[in-house]
A and B are shown apart, each in its own frame.
Chain A
Amino acid sequence: MCHKRLGLIIAICLILFMHCQSNKNIVSQDLFPKFPDGGDVPEFFPINDGYLFSGREIFAYIDGDGEVVLEYKFRAVKAREYRFRDSNQSINIDVYAMDGPEEAFGLFSLYRSGGEAVNLGNEAVMDPYQIMFWKGKYLVKVSTYDNSSEMQASLEKMARLMADNITDNGKRPRMVEALPNDFLDKSSITYFHGPLAFQNRCSLLKGDVLRLGSETEAVYACYKKDDASLEVIAISYPSERVAREVWQAAVSVLNPSILDTENWRMQVSQGGVLSGIIIKRKNMIYFFLPLVLKEQFFLNFIDHFIKTFAPANYIN
């Protein structure tokens, strides 16, 4: 009797465990759009069903950059490999499923570096070995190790199939849409939340002083006019109080050459050369960093930017 009861308990536990496991897989697989099948691109066939890495399992796939991906609202990545029928060349498709389109754009904007813009998904860049695009809540990378023209054509075909399988387009973050368009280098725009992404764009200050994290939103952009250029970073904090505290911390770390406390404005110089102007307005902190300094353009631009940049999360 006792054995029977024990057996029953074990069986119930086993069923419950298996149910949980299968649900977990179903939920994870449902996150993703359909991947190309064997018949979709005749010259290629999939060699597996795809590997799935969710949450912190990302480190299993990309140890080096796992933390950066986790600074965005990341759900899971699915990777599937396809082999060319006539050789051992392969194509890999990685699909990063994010919480929403803003996050997919954000990760795309951080990873985008050079490459040729192509008309695919919402935005795409292509180099001889990879096409990367974002559409809806997905960032997609289609890559190979062969740069032959046949492989390039297959790469593009695979990427287009993948893009077609994602039905929702999604929109860029409102903070990005609010950037003034004049002189804007659109390919430079980067949307982010965390300190590691910040450090990929600015070396003036460590990200932890700025208290960047899931509650902050930030945008980086480069503006160019003739031979003058400057970088802008706008960070939105959840409250004016937090922005004020961060400002004060930044003042003590940066030791500004000019500090205008009344107008929440400081100027930072390194070796006698202007390296940045930092301004706080309400819950926002702005960095203006000259790359090629033409002083009048720089100062006029700052005024112009502050007046015209009005993101939805600006607390009036």
Chain B
Amino acid sequence: MSKWTRREFIRGVLYTGLGARLSDFYDQLNTHPKVPVVVARNEKIKNLRDQDLKKACRKMIEEALLALSGAKNVKEAWEAYLPGKGHVGLKVNNERTRTERQVAEAVAESIVAAGFPAERIIIFDRSDFDLRLGGYEINRGGKGIQCYGLCRDEWHGATWEIENFSRQTYKVNGQSIRIGKIVAELCQLIINLPVIKRVRVVGISCALKNHFGSIDNPISLHGADLNKNIALVAALEPIRSKTKLTICDAVKNYGEHHVGIDGIIVSKDQVALDYVAAGIMEDYLGSNLKPPATFIQEAAKIGLGTDKQEEIELKNIYVS
């Protein structure tokens, strides 16, 4: 049962107690299984920098993980995701914006604290070029947490660094693409670390669209079918099965190219997370999204997750 628009739902639940009570009331009327999306916030975080920012981010991330999993402690919460062998990839977004380095490092360090080797964690994006623009330091093969791009060079859509992509080609709506080896071969777990940004082509970019930075020829998927293609790329094996967790950086509010709510948003369901992100963007803009981000519905249609308000359990956490 859906009583509110997406924008009203987000505003109601995130910002007013009334929203939470009404949400509880509708919950009693519904028998749908709920998909949790956790929003952890700390109103002081906007003024923090460097190590203080990283520390505060880690606290929010760990509290959110506990709320999501119901685990007794953070180590146990991570153990539900971490692979016995292979690597863990953290897919950041540094295209015309950036996933805060402190957010990515806080996730990585929390995983290390849970007993996972730092050298088997890779913070990655389309290219070294993108990562440097985002303020990351490249570490390819050195000690500690790894950080490098699918390609070393500037990314030009169709890359010539073909050796960094899977041999296997994947069909997406008639186009052949390859997936970066970091995702296709090296990592057993991908943690998606997107931001919420407005894009004029499809309304917003967040979790689902972030996977365009893991393939070799995103340009070929633009055009009239872009919404559908965003859903299809996220549904590709191995992207679909390896992306078990999304931690959205909504820490700082840089404007519509990176909307923040003093917090992070965590979910196992990327479609539900994008639904919430779209509502946050609408609340920021003060109007419905134009164009309306139909890739969220496309993704729900092919079974990637839910875009139904009544199936989403939005949990608020305040961390001090």
Contact = CB atoms under 8 A, between A and B. Distances in A.
A25 to B, nearest CB: 15
Interface residues of A, number: 33
Given A56-B157, A60-B155, A129-B254, A68 B201 contact: yes
Interface in B252-288: 252, 254-256, 285, 288
A145 B222 CA distance: 29
Contacts of A196: 200-201, 291
Contact of A64 (B135, B197, B292): B197
Interface string B220-237: 001110100000000000
Contact of B200 (A90, A110, A115, A130): A110
B255 A62 contact: no
B248 to A, nearest CB: 16
A303 interface: no
Contacts of B219: 56, 59, 63, 66
Nearest to B157: A59
A67 B219 CA distance: 9
B316 to A, nearest CB: 25
A62 B254 CA distance: 17
Contacts, number: 82
Contact of A62 (B95, B154, B226, B292): B95
B285 A113 contact: yes
Contacts of A59: 156-157, 218-219, 222
B155 A201 contact: no
Contacts of A202: 290
B302 interface: no
Contacts of B254: 129-130, 145
Given A59-B218, A59-B219, A65 B290 contact: no
Interface in A231-263: none
Interface in B181-237: 197-202, 205, 209, 212-213, 218-219, 222-224, 226
Given A61-B95, A63-B95, A66-B222, 16 more contacts: A51-B154, A57-B156, A59-B218, A59-B219, A60-B155, A62-B96, A64-B95, A65-B96, A66-B201, A113-B256, A113-B285, A129-B254, A130-B255, A196-B200, A200-B290, A203-B288
Interface in B61-119: 95-96, 98
Closest 3 CB pairs of A and B: A64-B199, A68-B200, A199-B291
Interface string B286-320: 00101110000000000000000000000000000
6 contacts: A51-B154, A56-B157, A59-B157, A64-B96, A64-B201, A200-B291
Interface string A83-97: 000001010000000
A51 B256 CA distance: 24
Nearest to A203: B290
Among B201, B252, B290, the most chain A Cβ lie within 10 Å of the Cβ of B201
Contacts of A66: 201, 219, 222
Contacts of A99: none
A213 to B, nearest CB: 13
B1 interface: no
A65 B201 contact: yes
B218 A203 contact: no
A81 interface: yes
A81 B129 CA distance: 12
A64 B256 CA distance: 13
Given A62-B96, A64-B95, A81-B133, A203 B205 contact: no
A63 B255 contact: no
A167 B47 CA distance: 39
A156 interface: no
Interface in A156-213: 196-197, 199-203, 208
A123 interface: no
Contacts of A115: 255
Contacts of A65: 96, 199-201
A67 B201 contact: yes
A119 to B, nearest CB: 20
Given A60-B154, A63-B157, A129 B255 contact: yes
A127 B260 CA distance: 14
Nearest to B288: A203
Interface string A117-135: 0000000000111100000
A61 B130 CA distance: 9
Nearest to B49: A146
Contacts of A57: 156-157
Contacts of A90: 135
A115 to B, nearest CB: 8
A128 B47 CA distance: 13
B96 A199 contact: no
